Homo-oligomer: A and B are copies of this chain.
Amino acid sequence: MLTKEAILGAFQFRHACKQFDPDKKISDEDFQFILEAGRLSPSSFGFEPWRFVVIQNPELRAKLKAVTWGAQGHLPTASHYVAILCRKDDMRFDSAYVDHFMRDVQKLPEDVIKMKRDRYQKFQEHDLRLLESPRSLFDWACKQAYIALGNMMTVAAMIGIDSCAIEGYDQEATETVLANASVLDRKNFGLAVMVAFGYRNKPQPQKTRQSLEDLTVWVR
């Protein structure tokens, strides 16, 4: 049903769409499907650091446009525009969020919670040295968000919906705009990345990529 040819066809269809047809809107059902692919994405220890803020309000989009050089064509035309937030200190091994998460979402028994927390602590403190700085912890949470980001763009392409990931913004100014709009609690969240969805209004440019031979090393 899902053939390799059709799947790779979607990867060829996907491109960084710079501007959308402002008259074509993604149906609620299709957009729920895109969000669902984000929701079902894997994350480290399964702790889902992300939150999806869908920005449809024209005034907020206009404010974002002033600080987001990378979305000048997207913000006015995207059918759906998403800011992906990630948790900051909440991701620490000793946070109330992680405790709540293991208990109430993952529904782990008490002894497994203890074991998992110990492991997670060593992982953060030692293995990847994630607690080196607040930024290194946040960047790590954001890495997980990029899995969700990728999956959302991929499944969109699979049903003929265009997208563009957007990193071209002033982090400080953009977080301020989102905080002032009361959709970002800067104490606990930061902006990981943004992504616009819609339908292209121009043919896509030629895709360029390194060859698989240049990218891959085999140790047999």
User: CA–CA, A41 to B129, complex, Å?
Assistant: 28
- Determine how close the nearest CB of chain B comes to the CB of A137; give it in whole angstroms: 10
- In the complex formed, the residue of B with least CB distance to A123 is B168
Q: A171 to B212, Cβ gap below 8 A?
A: no
Q: How far is the CB of A215 from chain B (nearest CB, A)?
A: 6
Q: Is A153 an interface residue (CB 8 A)?
A: yes
Tell me if B6 and A2 are in contact (CB < 8 A).
Answer: yes
Given contacts A46-B208, A147-B150, A158 and B215 within 8 Å (CB-CB): no
A218 near B54 (CB under 8 angstroms)?
Answer: yes
Using a CB–CB cutoff of 8 Å, the interface residues on chain A facing chain B are: 1-4, 6-8, 10-12, 14, 16, 29-30, 32-33, 35-42, 44, 46, 48, 50-57, 60, 69, 105-107, 123, 126-129, 132, 135-136, 139-140, 142-144, 146-151, 153-155, 158-159, 165, 167-171, 181, 183, 193, 207-210, 212, 215-220
